[in-house]
Structure 1
Amino acid sequence: MHQLILTGFLGKDAQVRDAQGAKAIGFSVAVNETFKKAGEKVEQTTWYDCTIWRKEGQTGIAEYLKEGQQVMIQGRPKPGGYKNAQGEFVPTIEVRVTSIELLGRKAGTKAETEKAGAFTEDDDNDLPF
């Protein structure tokens, strides 16, 4: 089994939707990487589409997954993709999240050092504290 561990920032607030008789909490995570190429500093952002699958009534973690929130996630990666408006294939990486830890807020947002807690796939109650 493949496992992926990422630390990044949420691109927008999480959305809860009905899917296959369960609840899916969907959000995207931006992971920034900085490196030098030909002596120039280059910053590259990779986006990951993430899903937490929960039972009915166990979606409380979604209210803490807000735009700018820094998270560390662990999950199973699944390659995917879509065709853009120009008809080109754009590869994506989807992640089925098995655990998530709320680390803080992006610099410049309120409560930037706030720690709200963690969730794992096996938790009966997904409140992060």
Structure 2
Amino acid sequence: MNKVILIGRCTRDPEVRYSQGENATAVARYTLAVDRQFKRDGEQSADFINCIAFGKRGEFAEKYLRKGTKIAVVGRIQTGSYTNKDGQKVYTTDVIVDEHEFVESKAASQNNGSGSTPVSTDGFTNIPDGIDEQLPFN
């Protein structure tokens, strides 16, 4: 079985091209920055995954996805290779998108996590001191 599920942010606006011919098909390419669960000192904290969406999914990407948009992607991994202009063989790994959808609101996406409610590094919202009586729990 070849199935991958990713949640991350678009690193740039999708690059969309249309195939030639009578029934032109959208082909959208974008890169998803997916946070790593664990990281070692000196290592990057995210992986950058190339995604390709065809047809209606490509049109959706062109219309709605922008740099910083947080989405969930379901698809399959596809590997390939080609010879570049210098004669070197280049290997590729892409996710062919079967589904993608938003995982946060448009307002949250525009703020990119810089909203008025601070979040600590452990993923929990910081609650200001002195509002204990306003909380529905203790």
Q: Shorter-chain TM-score: which interval?
A: 0.5 to 0.7
- Cα deviation, 1:36-95, whole Å, max 9, x if unaligned, reads 54xx5854321111111106xx714422110001111000101246789xx987754201
Q: Which residue of 2 aligns with 1:97?
A: 97
Matched, 1:31 2:34: yes
* CA shift in 2, pair 1:77/1:69, >3 Å: same
CA root-mean-square deviation: 3.3
What residue ranges of structure 1 are gaps of 5+ in the alignment? 114-129
Q: 1:34 to 1:42 in 2, by over 3 A?
A: farther
2:46 aligns to what?
45
Q: Normalized against structure 2, the TM-score is what?
A: 0.59
Report the Cα distance in structure 2 between the residues aligned to 1:41 and 1:4, rounded to whole angstroms. Answer: 27
Rounded to whole Å, the distance in 2 between the matches of 1:4 and 1:62 is: 22
Give the structure with higher Rg (CA). 2
| TM superposition shift of 1:104 | 2.7
Q: Which has a greater percent of strand?
A: 1
User: Are residues 89 and 10 of structure 1, via their aligned partners in 2, closer, same or farther at CA, if it must alter by over 3 Å?
Assistant: farther
- Structure 2: state its 5+ residue gaps: 114-138
